[in-house]
Amino acid sequence: MADEVGKPGVVVREFALTDYGAAASLWRVAGPGVPWRPGDEREEIARMLDRNPGLLLVACRGDEVVGTVIGGWDGRRGQVYHLAVDPGWRRRGVAGELMDELEARFAALGAWKVKGEVYSDNTASLAFYRDRGYKVEDTIARIGKELAPPAR
C-alpha cells in the first residue's frame, strides 16, 4: 500500500531487486538485531523474491529506502525477517506500517500465525512486537544448523 508514514512522502511498497543496494546498506547499520549472513547476499535475496512474491517490502521517501521487512511463507505460517528502520527514521511509525502491510499480506495468503526471531537482549524490538500482540515463546528452543552453501 502507498500509505504515508510519520512524515509526508514515505510510502510502503514491494521490494524490487533494484532496492537491494540501499536495503543491504540499511541492514549493515541497523544494529545487532539484523546480523549480516550469507543469505543476505544479492543472489539469495533474489531467490527470496522469487519464492515469496509480494512479501518483501520497503518503506521509502522518494528514492531513499528508510525501512525494510522480509516475509517468508511456507504455506502454513508467515515468518518475519529483517524488519529494519534507518536510525534517523525510528519512532515515526515506519516499522508499524511495514508490519501492518506484511501481516495483511500473510492473512490474504491464509496464514494463521506469524513468527519471527528477536535477540533476547533487544528490548526495544521485543517491546515493539509485544505492543503489536506478539508473544515471546519462551517454551520453544530455536535450533539451527549451518549447511554448506548450495552449488549453483
Say how far apart CA 4 and CA 8 lie, in whole Å: 6
What is the CA angle 103-19-50, rounded to 5? 60
pLDDT at position 34: 83
Break the chain into its structural domains and give their ranges.
10-131
d(CA 52, CA 54): 6
The answer to whether residues 26 and 41 touch, using CB atoms and an 8 Å cutoff, is no
Determine the Cα–Cα distance for residues 144 and 116; give it in Å rounded to an integer.
Answer: 14
Query: For residue 18, what pLDDT is reported?
Result: 96
Indicate the pTM of the whole model: 0.88
| pLDDT tops 60 at residue 1 | no
Architecture (CATH level 2) of domain 10-131: 3-Layer(aba) Sandwich (3.40)
Per-residue confidence band for 3, with pLDDT thresholds at 50, 70 and 90: very low
Q: What is the pLDDT of residue 20?
A: 97
- CA distances 68 to 15, 77, 98, 102, 145, Å, are 8, 20, 7, 11, 26
**What is the per-residue pLDDT for 7?**
54
Could you tell me what percent of the chain has a pLDDT over 70?
A: 93
Number of residues written out for the chain: 152
Which tens digits make up the pLDDT trace of 106-139? 999 999 999 998 888 889 999 999 999 999 998 8
Report the pLDDT value the prediction gives residue 44, as an integer from 0 to 100. 93
Structure confidence by residue, pLDDT tens digits, 68-106: 999 999 999 999 999 999 999 998 999 999 999 999 999
What is the model's pLDDT at position 8?
57
The span from the CA of 65 to the CA of 113, in Å, is 28
Distances (CA, A) of 29 to 2, 34, 52, 85, 132: 25, 9, 25, 9, 24
Return the residue matching grid coordinates 500473510: 106
Mean pLDDT computed over every residue of the chain: 89
User: Pairing between strand 77-85 and 64-73?
Assistant: antiparallel
